[in-house]
Amino acid sequence: MSLLEEIVRKALDLKASDIHIKVGVKPRVRASKRLVTLEEFPPLNKQQLEEFVNYILKGKEEKKQTLLKDGQVDTSASFPGLARFRANIYFQRSTLGIALRHIPFEIPKFESLNLPPIMKKLALTHTDGLILVTGPTGSGKSTTLASILNEINQTEEKVMVTIEDPIEYLFKDRKSFIIQREVGEDTKDFSSALRAALREDPDIIMIGEIRDPETAKIALQAAETGHLVFSTMHTINTKETLNRFIGMFPLENRDQIRMMLANSLVAIFSQRLVPRRDRKGVIPLVEILVNNPLIKEALQDPKKFERIHEYLEKGREVYGTQTFDQHIVDLYRKGLIDYKTALDHAQNPTDMELKLRGVVD
């Protein structure tokens, strides 16, 4: 524990987002997107890794069994007075390895995250429906969701149920009453916890991730029956999110799912993190889909589905939708990202170059 605590302290000093530990090498951390070796520590041995894992999984018998059965397990790791982490423990080359993702104790205020204000507005003005936050691993989905939910917690008298694997941010009840359940600790799986949540008088349900069709369908049903449902998916943009969501289901059920989505979807926020111009960390780049008559029609009619990107571009002034490229231009004009970053992350670099040079509005 003392050695692991020393590694954690050093990682926190470097403001690292992740810690990587395995047998035979020195610990490494990811700080400002760079992988940094902690040279002051010796290469770690098998016994040390086993001690680290025993500490993280102390009292978590079901998680231990999952690790032995599946070869990996997700859990949370707490270091009192220091930090909390989301932990993935795994076997590699028949020895243990650990990946730790730092979770701040304090939930960041929405305004501090440089997110488009419409994201907060949609969450605060809707009382039912489905809102998805999507993006690749490490894109800030959990932080975005936590900040939005905490805004509601500060201002609204709601019952919230969160179902997570593992629990990441810890909420303190303010105006809202918040129930946090961890898969593998407090409940067997997402779908059974979601069914139970519907009997717990919720106004808001947050599902850590939609991974399977059963969870997806129950989430839609909850959204249709007067609940505001939030969740995440590992997808790269809003259109791919819809494709993945609908594609979870057998062909014979997809028309029904399209109809349910058309009626219950509020919005999809798809985000990535890109380097700030001042090199002081990262800033979110967000594509926003807001359900509106054009999007609803595209969901119901597969022939119009391919036009979703066009609808996002054209719906900005009226509905608040935006593409990644539109947000890139905004961030560049505000001086928050540089020219190279803008081109590197553009969906169409040639068009982006013209836009940034003022040739195209």
Pick the more confident residue, 204 or 360: 204
The count of other CB atoms within 10 Å of the CB of residue 166 is: 22
| DSSP code, position 25 | S
**Average pLDDT over every residue of 150-175:** 95
**Average pLDDT over every residue of 289-316:** 95
Rounded CA-CA distance 203/226 in Å is 8
> pLDDT at position 104, please?
87
Q: For 2-58, how does the pLDDT look when each residue is reduced to its tens digit (9 = 90+)? A: 899 999 999 999 999 999 999 999 999 998 778 999 999 999 999 999 999 999 999
Architecture of domain 2-103: 2-Layer Sandwich (3.30)
> pLDDT at position 361, please?
47
Smallest CA-to-CA distance from 152 within 182, 116, 177, 180 is with: 177
Smallest CA-to-CA distance from 223 within 129, 317, 113, 90 is with: 129
> pLDDT at position 283, please?
95
Paired sense of beta strands 72-79 and 159-164, if any: unpaired
Percent of the chain with pLDDT over 70: 99
Percent of the chain with pLDDT over 90: 89
Q: Is the pLDDT of residue 359 over 80?
A: no
Rounded CA-CA distance 109/148 in Å is 8
So where are the chain's domains? 2-103, 110-322
Smallest CA-to-CA distance from 279 within 337, 346, 340 is with: 337
For the structural domain made of 110-322, what CATH number should be given?
3.40.50.300
Rounded CA-CA distance 59/168 in Å is 18
Q: Is the pLDDT of residue 178 over 80?
A: yes
Q: Are 356 and 350 in contact (CB under 8 A)?
A: no
Query: What integer best gives the mean pLDDT of the chain?
Result: 94
**Average pLDDT over every residue of 279-306:** 94
Q: Is the pLDDT of residue 360 over 70?
A: no
> pLDDT at position 281, please?
83
Q: Is the pLDDT of residue 341 over 80?
A: yes
**Average pLDDT over every residue of 106-131:** 96
Rounded CA-CA distance 348/341 in Å is 13
Residue 199 parent element (H or E): none
> pLDDT at position 1, please?
56
Q: Which long-range contacts (C-beta less than 8 Å, at least 24 apart) are formed by 105-108?
A: 105/170, 107/146, 107/147, 107/150, 107/169, 107/171, 108/143, 108/146, 108/147
**Average pLDDT over every residue of 233-247:** 97
Q: Is the pLDDT of residue 265 over 80?
A: yes
**Average pLDDT over every residue of 198-211:** 96
Q: Are 110 and 147 in contact (CB under 8 A)?
A: yes
> pLDDT at position 114, please?
96
Rounded CA-CA distance 206/191 in Å is 12
CA–CA distances in Å: residue 20 to residues 11, 89, 177: 10, 10, 36
